[in-house]
Structure 1
């Protein structure tokens, strides 16, 4: 029987492409999630190709990078060209996926185009694929937070939803259950990602307890609240507690706060700022951590419009996940995480102090989180679930 064929339209960018093109606005978490999805689909017999725009914010330099072919986790990836010029950069990205969709038109009715989120640059490819007979599905990772009213942002968001969803005829994968309200597409299926090879269980028996904050370092991800909690602990810390060492990696507007905190580590917790790391550097750092932080505010606009995929990665590695109580995190981790119920830096400081004072209990919760993630997001389970949803007619 002919293998089902899947194209994932996305902006997943491997490190070598990111560095070559000078891309600084990509999402490493999104790249990991989409490439791991493609990898697991290959293992269940789906021929998968990533169609990546291969772009970031243009810098006005006029540099041009030709389209290229590469691999991410063994999956063939076709990158569109990138031009560092305003307007022309966006137009080039709109064109990027069209040639390969046209070349594969003879298999259109047996192929599926999966859209990783809604993006304006996808619209020409979406409608060409629809005209050529492709089945089209949406992988909705982030819900729109501004839809009402007549602001330009709201009007653009409504137009993008209409242009995207009206072309989709094969349903929607959802990053969390609450996103079912963000689209009328049917059928729908929640997909939280896939676990990789499990890490080692953490015993919390080292001299220091190492904590990790990674990704976008901004108020919208709880960075300011964490900085305030570190300040609180430095003024109210107990010498009896096991020392805490916070590691910060990524970029964002709040990074400067942690850089400032790292200049004076005479009072714990210690803060180290690593900046943006490549995949190898990040993986190496993750293996040394004990606690992973996922702190998108409970009261923020992202609380129920996305799912913090990093919790799967961190729990799978064996870390204790300290997370705000948002989205479907409890569905995935259950009792295998430590939850921050309020957006309160003093309460966050208390949670961190509890970890420092109760290493055995912290280790037990971390083990529970690893077990739950492996059960919910194992490659076999995730692959079967995705194939069943995306290709129900041939399962």
Structure 2
């Protein structure tokens, strides 16, 4: 597929990232990607497209090198209507890193003649530096998209991290997108915009109508995302066998160190029931999402990611009509208000109490879900977010 140039008067945004679609991920044998991050990037580009901006994804298209030596050339394709350029990738260590360092210089140079051009760097990555330097030299408006994992809580930054911070602060002077408002003091880049993602208003089926309640726990399954707390809550419910838990089912997707806990629960009979799907394709994930009633976001209150990240999946949950049950962290309450249920403690008992309240009073839970869906549809509709992003990229004083 040819990499076409936008019209002379059409604003252009390039997003430098490591977003992956399923076909490329499977083709390149990559197992270390972040599906939520990829969806956020592609959806942002779709929103910009609705606002009249030509948005391209420049993806490293890489994962952890296996050492096999398998190599993949530059790939240009459309991912959900977004033109995407994947850099070459090799599973041969060292060579893999070199390919990522220089894989997108040609694309950055190709668009240098455009009058209204922006490049956005998704987090501070060493592999972006050659493209960052070239884009800055060629007159791009350079923005940083600062997501979770950028702040080392309670620790001093290492030499490489300090160097990356310095370079991106120096060259991304046009502005910064922030995963949540708490990140603003952690960068000197101005102006800033807290960007939580987009919500599609394509769900017309009311959730929580049947007597059964199905909960979804997706993504990275580790203690730092609350997965162990959920597994312990399920174990306690199976031991106690309250009557209401017979109506409860958990769908588990994703991967991580805590996945075996759920596989053990799924392998044994008992209620609540547990179904483990592991890492799925995006299409399969949407199918699972559509049969669920409650979306779980359980990163611990007071944890190292509590204030410096935003669980973007809560926007996805609410947009699909699910009731959001989230830890009271970051900007979640500020965004949802009374459109979500919150956990203010990290212990399994608090989670059990919240689940019991949902199962026993589905009408109240349904009303909360309706409020949450209305909130995100009104505030984060793709066209509306596209206009906001366009104004930030091209009309701000950065």
TM-score class normalised by the smaller sequence: over 0.9
Cα distance between partner residues in 2 of 1:307 and 1:84: 32
Counterpart pick for 1:248 among 252, 255, 259: 252
CA contact (8 A) 1:209 1:242 kept: no
Aligned to 1:81: 88
CA contact (8 A) 2:199 2:380 kept: yes
CA contact (8 A) 1:98 1:125 kept: yes
Aligned to 1:291: 294
Structure 1 residues 165 and 236, CA, compared in 2 at 3 Å: closer, same or farther? Answer: same
- Partner of 2:158, secondary structure, is helix
TM-score, length basis structure 2: 0.95
Alignment partner of 1:220 is 2:227: no
Aligned to 2:377: 374
Structure 1 residues 158 and 312, CA, compared in 2 at 3 Å: closer, same or farther? Answer: same
Alignment partner of 1:9 is 2:11: no
Q: 1:105 Cα deviation (Å)?
A: 2.2
Aligned ranges 1:1-395 → 2 under 5 Å: 2-107=9-114, 110-146=116-152, 154-240=158-244, 243-266=247-270, 268-392=271-395
TM-score, length basis structure 1: 0.95
Q: 1:145 Cα deviation (Å)?
A: 3.0
Of stretches 359-368 and 233-242 in structure 1, the one that deviates more from structure 2 is: 233-242
Alpha-carbon deviations, 1:145-175, whole Å to 9, x = none? 327766xx62222111111121112111111
CA contact (8 A) 1:202 1:290 kept: no
Aligned to 2:3: none
Q: 1:205 Cα deviation (Å)?
A: 3.1
Cα distance between partner residues in 2 of 1:331 and 1:179: 15
Q: 1:376 Cα deviation (Å)?
A: 1.4
Cα distance between partner residues in 1 of 2:78 and 2:159: 37
Structure 1 residues 105 and 354, CA, compared in 2 at 3 Å: closer, same or farther? Answer: same
Corresponding residue pairs, total: 390
Structure 1 residues 242 and 371, CA, compared in 2 at 3 Å: closer, same or farther? Answer: farther
Cα distance between partner residues in 2 of 1:193 and 1:144: 18
Alpha-carbon deviations, 1:170-216, whole Å to 9, x = none? 11111110010121100111111111133134342324211100010
Cα distance between partner residues in 1 of 2:269 and 2:169: 51
CA contact (8 A) 2:297 2:325 kept: yes
Q: 1:117 Cα deviation (Å)?
A: 1.3
Cα distance between partner residues in 1 of 2:251 and 2:373: 21
| Structure 2 unmatched runs, 5+ | 1-7
Cα distance between partner residues in 2 of 1:112 and 1:220: 34
- Partner of 1:334, secondary structure, is helix
Alpha-carbon deviations, 1:344-364, whole Å to 9, x = none? 111111111111111111111
